[in-house]
Every structure is written in structure tokens, then in C-alpha cells.
Amino acid sequence: MSRQRIRVGKYELGRLVGEGKFSKVKFARNMETGEGVAIKIMERDTLLKQKMVKQIKREISAMNLIKHPNIVRLHEVMASKKRIYIVLEFVMGGDLHDKITHDGRLREDEARKYFQQLITAVDYCHSRGVSHRDLKPENVLLDSYGNLKVSDFGLSALPQQEDGLLHTQCGTPNYVAPEVINDKGYDGATADLWSCGVILFYLMAGYLPFDDQNLMRLYKKSCKADFKYPLWFSSSAKKLISRILDPNPKTRITAPEILQNEWFQKDYIPPKFQEDEDVSLNDIDVVFSDSEEQLVTEIKEIQPVFMNAFELISMLQVLNFGNMFEQHMGLVNQQTRFTSKHPAKEIITKIDEAAGTLGFNVKKRNFKVKLQGANIGRKGRLSVVIELFEVAPSLCMVEVHKAGGDTLEFSEFYEKLSSALKDIIWKSKVNIGEIA
């Protein structure tokens, strides 16, 4: 039995963990360090057709500027002839939207903890000149320790206009600031804070402050800050949210003011971290070029099926209830196993050579071998099936069982086979029921 393993550079690709309109995100493992990462995979042709190259370059540039414990980390960027790969920190705890949908609204102290992490991350982005422009619970992930991680900088921006303002309308309607809707330009950092205020309300209330199926009515509510607080909101929380959800960006509270706010400061622990060197992306255009020297290749390899602990246990005689209806001695005589620390391909090659020497016809398919004896025995030709399983990164289990022919002949064959394979067998002749 076998499985296909795909490697890109030093990463082995695994299961699909997310999928967007123009990208897929797969779990991967760094083969050098063993570290798990998430790789965002995009097709070059799709990016060109959808005119998204500029947006992807902007996302890479923005993430390269920011290294913060509450922001998803960019490790590196690679490209093949067909695909672009953005290697990111793997965050496995879901997002804030999933948490509220599953658990309901949060207690005020829990919502405050997440809001503190969100503001410190967003303020850090702004200090590096990066505005996110699409802050919402779906883009705020949680790691296995419950720490917040801001992600998805696809709509991020650096103010490059002469007036120092942004002019592109973007973001998710329920979270977008009123000034973004107008066509007069806006400050990205100030607009981000509005989105943070909507997120805080959502965490504590369990629903959005501005929500309407009709976009025009939704925008009118946002422009007038037309919303009501639930009864369980504390007065200090309401005061802060009211200052954040101020429709006038000139009088809206700033990030430094939020950081000094009494409600915000309760149990606040500032993050401590040391900025690493920037990811090596001196020329982002190189990622989108066709330079052969800069491209990586996808390497597809056939590997033996990995047998997990449950599957291994299920094969044991003592726990395999299906085997209770078999005759124990007969099963032992017809099936046996051995283990080896040698590479899977080397084991298969050795089996092929040994079986040929013993006069068997050999048919191989990946990591399964079928043998048939040349001579007709007492019960016809002896047929043997050998399958290889990977039970650990450096340990393989080889199962040898009789598919046809005489049991005594099979026993004699296995003695000769194990003798021929003595250099690769780690633990010889482990019968079913003897594996511990």
C-alpha cells in the first residue's frame, strides 16, 4: 500500500486546512526542523487573469514589515512555474467568528483580553506604516493557547498618495468605517480602529452593532452610529466603544488613547518580544518572474502508507475481535511480520532480489509485492503477498501472508526469505499476537 508525498522546497505538503476563492491553504511540515506551517498556494495563471498580482505583492510586503506575537508570522515566499507559495505560521485554534458562533458571547474580561491583544497588534502595524483595512473576526485567529493572531493582509495598504490618505473602498460592510464609504480619502489606521470597535462589540454582545440586509440602510446606521447597547455591558465598556465607534474620524479615539484607557488597562500585560530580521524578500518581483534559478519544483514521491497507533493496535491478535473466529494456530502459520529500520525502497528492493533467487515470480506495485512460486506444490502454486507499512518515521513493518498454496511450504519459504533478509530485519519473525 502507498501514499503520495508532495514536497515543495524543504516542506512536505499535508492536508487541506482552508480554501478561498483564489487560493488554498495546506498544512505542511518543514523537513529540516519538523516545524508545522501553513502554506497559502495560488495559481499563477489565476492571479494574472484576475489582475491580483499587485494585491499579492502588497500582502507579502506588508507581512514582511510586521513581526509581532499577535500577528501571523510570514516565514518565506516561494514560486514554481505554476504556483506561488506563501509560507506562514500555522495557527490551529480557529477564528473569533467560529468561537462566538460555537460558544456564544464572551464574558467582559475574556473579551477585554482578546481586545487588548488586537489593539496592540493593530497599533504595531500602524507604527510600521501598515493599515490592515479588512479587520473582522474571520481574520482574527486563535492559537492552541488561546492567543490572538491577526491574519490576511491581502487588502493592507501603505498611504502613498500625495495627500497621505487612502482612496480605495474595501473591507467588509459590517465592519467598514463611515469615512471609507465616502470618496474623500481616509486614514487607514483610524479606519482600522473603527473595525476593532465593531469586533469588541461583537465579542461582548454576540451580534453586530450595525447589521442590515440592505447595504444603504446598513451604511446609514454606521454613519450615524445608530446602535444600542445590551443591558450587560458595563458603563466603562460602553464609554470606550462609543469613543471608538465615533463616525467622525477626526474626533475618534486614537490607539495611544485606547492603550491608556482605564477599562482597557485592567489586567493588561504588554507583549514582550524581540523583532527578528526581516524575511529575505529583497525583490518581491522575483517571485513572479520566470527566472529558473529562483523557482522551486514540486516533487511527488510514492511512500508507504503510514500506520497510526490505532491501526497498529487493531492488527494485534489480542485486540482484533474479528480474529476470535479464526483458528489461532492456522492464522499464525499463514501470516507473519517483521520490522526494519531501513528505508522503504531498500526493503522492497531486497525482497524483490531474495524472492527472485528463491525462484518466485515477482509483481510489484509501489509498496505491495505479490509472489508466485514456479513449482506446483501439494495445494497448487504457493502465492505470497507482502505489504509494507510505515509505523514511525524511521521504522517500517513488513507483513507477509499466504494468499494460496500449502501452509507448510509457506513456513519453509518464510524461513528462507528471512535468512536472505537478515541484514535488514530489525526484529525477526514477529508473529501475529506477539507484537507488543
Any idea which residue has 526469505 for its cell? Answer: 417
DSSP 356: H
Cα-flanking dihedrals φ and ψ of residue 208, to 5°? -85, 150
Q: How many CA atoms does the CB half-sphere of 151 hold within 13 Å? A: 24
> Is residue 347 exposed (0-12), middle (13-18) or buried (19+ Cβ within 10 Å)?
buried
Measure the CA–CA gap between 135 and 155, rounded to whole angstroms: 10
Contact (CB, 8 A) for 1 and 367: yes
Q: Which grid coordinates belong to 203?
A: 465579542
Query: Which residues are 303's β-sheet partners?
Result: 3
> Is residue 12 exposed (0-12), middle (13-18) or buried (19+ Cβ within 10 Å)?
middle
Measure the CA–CA gap between 178 and 244, rounded to whole angstroms: 12
The H or E element containing residue 418 is: helix 407-420
Q: How many CA atoms does the CB half-sphere of 34 hold within 13 Å? A: 1
Q: Is 156 helix (H, G, I), strand (E, B) or coil?
A: coil
Widest CA span in the chain: 96
Dihedral class, residue 23 (left if φ above 0, else alpha if ψ from -120 to 50, else beta): beta
What percent of the chain is helix, strand and coil (3-state, nearest 5)? 35, 25, 35
DSSP 293: G
Contact (CB, 8 A) for 161 and 111: no
Residue 11: closest CA among 94, 88, 101: 88
Show which residues are catalytic.
134
Instruction: Give the number of other Cβ atoms within 10 Å of residue 20's Cβ.
Output: 11
Measure the CA–CA gap between 407 and 404, rounded to whole angstroms: 8
